[in-house]
A and B are shown apart, each in its own frame.
Chain A
Amino acid sequence: MPLGIGCTARPGQSRNNKTGSWRVYYPVLDTEKCTKCGTCQLICPEGCITQNEDKTYAIDLDFCKGCGMCAEECPDKAKAISMHLEEK
């Protein structure tokens, strides 16, 4: 996007800034193991985990920074989220 004088921006521009590019580790959600408890959605500091209509969860990798909190906090009985090194 072209520079705005004074570093100005219209509303909604942060969607264009795909902060997922900062990530070192990416999360993978195993829907077979997932109990749909919703802890990951609550805990995600970026708000990039959403619930689908069928109650399953999805992680938006465009904005996930790979902090790993979802994997850490996923309850022991499920451990449905694992972190993997980005191959760039």
Chain B
Amino acid sequence: MEGSIAVAETVRLCRPQVISAYPITPQTHIVEGLASIVADGRLDAEYICVESEFSALSACIGASAAGSRVYSATTSQGLALMAEVVFNSAGMRLPIVMGIANRAISAPLSIWNDQQDSIMMRDSGWLQFYAEDNQEAVDLHILAYKICEDHNILLPAFVCFDGFILSHVYEPVDIPEQDAVDAFLGPFNPYQKLDCNDPISFGMYATPEYYLEFRYEHDQAVKRAAEAFRKYGKEFGEKFGRDYSELVTQYKTEDAETIIIAMGSICGTIKDAIDEMREAGQKVGLLGIRCFRPFPSEDLRALLGNAKRVAVLDKNVSLGAKGAVALEVKDACYGMDLPIYDYILGLGGRDVRKSDIKNIVALCEEGKGDMFYGLREEVL
């Protein structure tokens, strides 16, 4: 099954009552799939056609505030156009789930994959989950609704999966049964909602006497989501047989001297490269960031205790600084006697192969890093 269709079918199982999205490559098949599902009567939902991504998420805000479970999906420029609404929906603490088929940001125009788009919204107060494969993209959608709608959390979430690399790839995916998803999620139970008979306004004005406290409460809620992820991830594992109780996935890290940290589909390639390096006697492991917001700083600190060096692979760059993941890892490990090197790679759809992973491990062992990896010197 194609990744996008697997996601669309899973969203159907979550029974959103309102879907509003604007098509954009490589997210198109998700919303196309959902539009068909609604048109065919396989999901009882309002599918609101809009003229832009700004309107799509605005419609989601209204629908969510009115007490509906809602879904949207976008990528790249679409997410950029949504920016104001992204921050508003988070501040209004609406549990919206949105799929992000990760894509590079213009200019130069690129429809291909990297993770700059969702990273751009790093500070928006949305939760951010990253899928390694299509099964995780499916599972994280269900889990996201469970976490977001918890009355102790009440936040929106991105479920990020790499554009084309996952969204357009065909691979076996276990789509859960409707009964099981219903039992896990239950019907949407809004904490508060728009009601003509009991009026309320969302996202009101805050004077300087209140704004700081609102931001603090928001930050606390994002941080609490780590525990909710573990709790519901464990529950998900018990119900569906695939465990999500950890914010960070581990692969052969126990005795690893060099640990790679990465996010998204690249983790699959890294695991294959690690298998080959292990056969050659190299002690290499992988920590995959499954939950980027909240950032699992304490988890990483504990998991990197025995490592000798760390290579962080970033499919994004905070221009003028470093990759967003590396910045977080360096912050998490501050004070530890541990060299951490950043490698910016795979931007705008550049392939990352097993040989690249091996080259990076070699560079890391030589103490070379904090660089763009794989630059074509001849065009510079």
Chain A residues with a Cβ under 8 A of chain B: 3-11, 13, 17
Contacts and interface: CB of A to CB of B under 8 A. Distances in A.
Contacts of B217: 3, 5
B214 A8 contact: no
Contact of B91 (A7, A11, A13): A7
B199 interface: yes
Contacts of A6: 91-94, 154, 192, 202-203
Q: Which of A6, A8, A13, A17 has the most CB of B within 10 A?
A: A6
Interface in B170-223: 191-192, 199-207, 210, 213-214, 217
B200 A7 contact: no
B200 A10 contact: yes
B192 A17 contact: no
B200 A8 contact: yes
A42 B85 CA distance: 36
Interface in B114-159: 154
A11 to B, nearest CB: 5
Contact of A5 (B192, B199, B201): B192
B36 to A, nearest CB: 33
Given A6-B94, A8-B192, A13 B210 contact: no
Contact of B207 (A3, A4, A17): A17
Main secondary structure of the interface of B (DSSP, over half): loop
B200 A5 contact: no
16 contacts: A3-B217, A4-B192, A5-B191, A5-B217, A6-B93, A6-B94, A6-B202, A7-B92, A7-B204, A7-B206, A7-B214, A8-B202, A8-B203, A9-B200, A9-B201, A17-B207
Contacts of A13: 204
Contacts of B203: 6-8
A35 B64 CA distance: 54
Contact of B214 (A3, A9, A10): A3
A10 B192 contact: no
Nearest to A1: B210
A7 to B, nearest CB: 5
- Those 3 A-B pairs whose CB atoms lie nearest each other, nearest first: A6-B93, A6-B92, A9-B204
Contacts of B154: 5-6
Contacts of A8: 92, 192, 200-204
A7 B202 CA distance: 6
A5 B214 CA distance: 8
A8 B70 CA distance: 20
A50 to B, nearest CB: 24
A13 B204 CA distance: 10
Contacts of A5: 93, 154, 191-192, 217
Nearest to A12: B199
Given A6-B91, A6-B154, 9 more contacts: A3-B213, A4-B192, A5-B154, A7-B205, A7-B206, A7-B214, A8-B92, A9-B204, A17-B207
Interface string B38-82: 000000000000000000000000000000000000000000000
